[in-house]
Chain A
Amino acid sequence: MRSHCLDNSFQPSPRGCNAAMLSFLSLLFFNLLITFTAAGQDYYERLLLRPLPQSALLASFNFRSNESSASFDQQNFRYFPRSLGQILQHARTKELHLRFSLGRWDAESWGQRPWDGAREGGTGVELWAWLEAQSEEEAFSRWLTLTNALSGLFCASLNFIDATKTIRPVMSFQPEGDHHNSSNLHLLHGTLPHEVVCTENLTPFLKLLPCKGKAGVSSLLDGHKLFDASWQTMSIDVRPVCGKDGADCVLEMEQSVDMVLDIDRSRRPRDNPIPRPLPIEEIACDTSKHYNAEDTCYPLHKSAEPGWNLTEIFGRPLKGACPLTDGDGEGANTVCINTPPERIIQANTTGQYLETWIASDTVRCYKLPTGSDFDLNLPEQEMTTGLILATPPLFAARSINGHGQERGSIQAIIRNPSATDAVEFVYLESLPWFMKPYLHTLRARVDTTSTNPIQETYYRPAVDRARGTHLELRMLIPASSTLTLTYDFEKAILRYTEYPPDANRGFDVAPAVLKLLSSQSSLGDNKGVYLRTTSLLLPLPTPDFSMPYNVIILTSTVMALGFGNIFNLLVRRFVGAEEVMALGAGGLRGVVAARVAAMRTRLLGR
């Protein structure tokens, strides 16, 4: 029953599919609302909560601060952080996108990605930026300045984004901001799939916010919970936004944190985090089982939505509103929750708050009180209605096939769930130089037609130790069909010093980025719709790391042997074996033999 629902690609609430009585409410994309808020105001923040199936909860934090470009140029920073602003000015960066991600978005059960994937990155760190420069060399040197400076700011290994990890995408990324002279702009893109995102990256992220996690929705962000999530992504986007006539430009910085929390896991107390079975009295048992007894129990599937509250889930209370946001209007509703209208939600606070129902009552928004704690409490509840989660436009999975230390192949399976619409998209691969694809083995097949889905190819081959492979494919996938993309590759053998300390773990290959061309973003702006696969782990042949010393010893031994023999042949005097003793040059054995003989004569003589 349950799997049947999954196959139909819509997701009711986890109370299951035992529901002729279950009615579905069409889910309006709440994200749409966010775009209505005017870009003119200086600071804006919002938290959107959306319960997902299997007791998961999506929490999307969004913070936006503006700085007029005049005061940015004069380095008078108000809401824009000075540290980041100076880096951008120093590296002449006009638009910046930085992502820190962890985990995997389970599109099969969670549906469409938040922000249509435009605010998420591949596993690890991903950075792309438009830099102003006269030439490619200048752009690259500024890119290095930028990555080094950001590395210090965010405590991440961004300085390891060098020429081998940098590509210049052609079709996959478009600037989001309004740029005046786009001819001087250079797009550079770098990824660090190996980077482990953790608390040390969150702290500088929070410091960039005007309310610094001390007030407003950012006070919920806690490293323990954020990095314990099933999936999380932190993003920073800086872009210039101009008015209709090209005047009144502001520099907009958008920071967002999206995470999917497991409600059960998050509710575990921090001092007792190990899941233990409940005492049998507290478990609802399936009494129809024949083995059901005092001490044996088959637990019944819980059909009710779990109860939770903000403080429990995030590990800390929400400390009221950040007073820098608008006092009234759309921007004042800083916490929103997207549930069916029947779900009971209690707001707990000592201060004044305001509840607003929007989007056919499927979204409830709260205006937070200033200066006092705020909590949302959702009790455990049997639900009769659920929300339809939007189906993602594409499903993508990628894996490494093959065996052995020499070759392998990549297989990417991309599925279009739509029954009516074909989807055109760009597939971007950024491969490390030591993974050398054979482009002649590149095959793309669609299971429903025999036409080649590849419409355009952009390929820049790798140069050993200088740059990685950059492959961009524009492809078209017909309605309700599956595209399989495969190519073979060869694994290079690295130099001794090029291996990382954990060489046997394997090397991470950056996720592939899919940009949808045909479908318009539901957000109605030029952010685009994106999809990323997971990163891959590529095992490379690893040498024995004591090798250089072995080589030194072995070659030295061989050379010494050869030398010793030749030298001895040249300088030794050769005599007959019987004549050795006469010369008194029997070596060690001669000495021993002489001693023995002397002893013998002494003993026998007596």
Chain B
Amino acid sequence: MRCQQLSTPRRRHHRKMPPSTQVDALSTPTRAPDGSETAANAAEGAPARRQPPPESNESMWTRRAVIFSFWAVVVFLGLPVWWKTTAIYRADLPLQAMTDWADGKICKPVFPLRIAVEASALQSPDAQHLIRTTQHALDDLNEFSAHHLRLMLADSPWTANLSQQVVSDGLRISGKDEDIALTIRLVPVETGTTPRSHLQQYAPTLDVYYAANQIPPASSTSSPLATFIAHELHKMFAEEQAQLAYLLSTTSSAHSAKIKSLSPETAAELERQSTRALKYAPTYHLTFSLFSPTFVPSAWEIESALQQYLAPLLESFSSISNFTVDSQVQLYAGFSPSIRQPEYDETLNAWTLRKEDLSGFINAAEWPLSPSIGIGPTVNFVLYVPDQSQSPLLVKENGGNSWLIPQWGGVLILNPAQAANTANTPTTLTREALAPAMHTFANQLLSLLGLPQTPNSLPLRLSTLKRVRAASLLFSASSTLGALARLTRALPSIPIPDKVAISVDFTTDHLQQACNNLREGRFQGALEHARIAEAEAEKAFFERSMVGQVYFPDEHKAAVYLPLMGPVAVPLLMAALKEFKGLSARRRG
């Protein structure tokens, strides 16, 4: 019923339409909806069909041109524009070079150490000969080719004789050169056992005492003095060699072949040391905290204690890293409740903590040990004063009272009754009472910074640290570059801004310079370049705009494109297909 009612006005409407006289073809489709008539026509039989006029060649070609031009616009204009506007900008990165750096193919670090020999009492030819024989003995001892010692005769400032001015064969160096790792002073003596040596504790100087008759004659190729010096030097740099060899072996596979000389025990010890040490940073924040489960002691003379016990140490480190120091007092801060409560030990006459509980001692939930603001890691030193009822508090297994937490800091339990010999915990810890704690903290800081144990000369240990740090920075920057290259290859959908490319160039530039400096024995320069390279590499890797659009799911893209692309693509495709069909049919026919 309703359909009819609806259809009648429509039909009437069609009839009312003015007959289109211009183009007959256009009026035909409007009549087409009257399906019944056509169906009836078709059913009545084929003979009644009227043949359409044959299609003119011209209109056929026009149609083809239209289809072709649509396709041309889509392919040559639409697709490129779409590609261009949705493409992710990726700056060119020297991926191969970056991978090569990471694999250690570009830079093989070497550590030529220059050692000056001051032999003021010797004639120049004798001294040259001594150096040559010693160098020979030294080279025989050395098993690690990347690290070698070069002896050189130094100008003695107080004895400038004629022969030294004449000879300029590159084997002489000025006594004030910063890059000299060690100075050997040959001192002739009359008494005592000879040869003997003495390493100065606060200067990079080794005094060697010898008797006059121990100078090798010009004809001999070896002498006891030369062998002695060579052995001394080898012993002094043994730990540094081991550290560097270990570093080379762990950071890149290319070097692993070279460290046959490392015994498993040494390797384990070095691994322990290196996992303990903090990552290198130009600035470290040191935080000294006093924790007490009660309200005493509520004050400590930390200012003067830091000034007296720590400031000189930090000053000597200034060429490697800077330090900021802060301190805090926290009361009513007991250790973590998750560990076993201390037990009273009759034999030690003290309360004891189990060794396995020490790792849970830090009460991370309640102690305000948040990292300091600013760039660089925070090293925490915790001084814990136990409650009077649980004092003295010690570690059960060894009776110690301090321990080190790798890459985090150190803890010391200060039992004030021992220190002050009074019944009650004092309200203020004096500088003297803090002295043992400060010494422990200083030692802990040294091992946290990765300072080697030997030799017994602070400047030498520091310069060793400088070389080790330079090498480790070099490796870490290289491996960061490698990681960035891998990331770039693995994730094609992340954008890479120009900044990253610039940083990468900068990094490789400084890495190259650091490598050159190492080869030439300028370790301070190498450290500085490696430091810049490391910072730039990190900057490139952690570029913020790279992580923004990593994930943009395909379903989302389909949902956005399909409503437009679908209806547009179907007529285009069908028209093209039909035309091809017609074309092939005509060719066949």
Contact = CB atoms under 8 A, between A and B. Distances in A.
23 contacts: A71-B303, A76-B303, A76-B326, A76-B327, A78-B328, A81-B328, A90-B374, A211-B295, A212-B332, A323-B295, A552-B560, A560-B566, A567-B572, A573-B63, A574-B28, A576-B24, A576-B28, A578-B50, A581-B46, A593-B38, A593-B42, A596-B43, A597-B42
A20 interface: no
Interface residues of B, number: 57
Given A90-B374, A553-B563, A582-B49, A570 B328 contact: no
A207 to B, nearest CB: 6
A597 B326 contact: no
A577 B38 contact: yes
Contacts of B70: 567
Nearest to A210: B331
A568 B303 CA distance: 89
A405 interface: no
Interface in B35-68: 35, 38-39, 41-43, 46, 49-52, 55, 59, 63, 66-67
A556 interface: yes
Contacts of B572: 567
Interface in A547-606: 549, 552-553, 555-557, 559-561, 563-564, 567-568, 570-571, 573-583, 586, 589, 593-594, 596-597, 600
B333 interface: yes
Given A567-B70, A575-B52, A594-B42, A90 B373 contact: yes
Nearest to B51: A582
Contacts, number: 143
Contacts of A586: 42
B49 A579 contact: yes
Interface of B: 23-26, 28-29, 31-32, 35, 38-39, 41-43, 46, 49-52, 55, 59, 63, 66-67, 70, 287, 295-296, 298-299, 302-303, 324-329, 331-333, 366, 368, 370, 372-374, 559-560, 563-564, 566-568, 571-572, 575
A324 interface: yes
A577 B32 contact: yes
Interface string A198-229: 00000000010011101100000000000000
B326 A75 contact: yes
A214 B330 CA distance: 12
A114 B35 CA distance: 88
A564 B567 contact: yes
Contacts of B29: 574, 577
Contacts of A581: 38, 41-42, 46, 49
Contacts of B333: 212
A87 interface: yes
Contacts of B66: 570-571
A578 B326 contact: no
A87 B302 CA distance: 21
5 nearest A-B residue pairs (beta carbon)? A560-B567, A574-B25, A75-B326, A556-B563, A579-B52
B63 A78 contact: no
A605 B66 CA distance: 47
Contacts of A81: 328, 368
Given A324-B298, A578-B49, A579-B50, A557 B28 contact: no
Contacts of A90: 373-374
B2 to A, nearest CB: 23
A549 B370 CA distance: 46
A322 interface: yes
Contacts of B332: 211-212, 214-215
A149 interface: yes
A369 B325 CA distance: 37
A82 B368 contact: yes
Interface of A: 71, 74-79, 81-83, 86-87, 90, 149, 207, 210-212, 214-215, 322-324, 549, 552-553, 555-557, 559-561, 563-564, 567-568, 570-571, 573-583, 586, 589, 593-594, 596-597, 600
A563 B63 CA distance: 16
Contacts of B370: 83
A94 B36 CA distance: 91
B454 to A, nearest CB: 34
Contact of A557 (B25, B41, B331, B567): B567
A576 B38 CA distance: 11
Contact of A573 (B46, B59, B560): B59
Contacts of A564: 567-568, 571
Nearest to A580: B38
Nearest to B24: A576
Contact of B52 (A211, A212, A322, A583): A583
Contact of B571 (A567, A583, A589): A567
A207 B295 CA distance: 15
Given A577-B31, A581-B38, 5 more contacts: A77-B329, A78-B329, A86-B373, A207-B366, A563-B571
B105 to A, nearest CB: 43
A310 to B, nearest CB: 20
Given A81-B368, A211-B331, A579 B373 contact: no
Contacts of A583: 52
A200 to B, nearest CB: 14
Contacts of A71: 303
Contacts of A567: 70, 571-572, 575
B44 to A, nearest CB: 9
A357 to B, nearest CB: 29
Given A552-B560, A564-B567, A564-B571, A578 B41 contact: yes
Contacts of A82: 287, 326-328, 368
Contacts of B39: 589, 593, 596
A557 B563 contact: yes
A567 to B, nearest CB: 5
A365 B31 CA distance: 103
Given A71-B303, A90-B374, A559-B568, A597 B563 contact: no
Contacts of B302: 76
A576 B25 CA distance: 6
B73 to A, nearest CB: 12
Contact of A560 (B326, B327, B568): B568
Contacts of A149: 373
A322 B295 contact: yes
Contacts of A76: 302-303, 326-327
B563 A552 contact: yes
B25 A575 contact: yes
A563 B31 contact: no
Nearest to A587: B32
A573 B32 CA distance: 15
A605 B325 CA distance: 109
Nearest to B59: A573
A387 to B, nearest CB: 36
Nearest to A70: B303
A571 B575 contact: yes
A563 B327 CA distance: 74
Contact of B295 (A215, A571, A593): A215
Contacts of B372: 86
Nearest to B288: A76
Of the candidates A87, A149, A324, A577, the one having the most CB atoms from chain B within 10 angstroms of its own CB is: A577
Contact of A577 (B28, B329, B331, B567): B28
B424 to A, nearest CB: 13
A86 B378 CA distance: 13
B309 to A, nearest CB: 15
A80 to B, nearest CB: 9
A368 to B, nearest CB: 13
Given A76-B302, A571-B63, A559 B564 contact: yes
Given A78-B299, A560-B568, A574 B563 contact: no
B295 A77 contact: no
Of the candidates B333, B559, B567, the one having the most CB atoms from chain A within 10 angstroms of its own CB is: B567
A81 B46 CA distance: 101
B567 A576 contact: no
A524 B534 CA distance: 58
A579 B325 contact: no
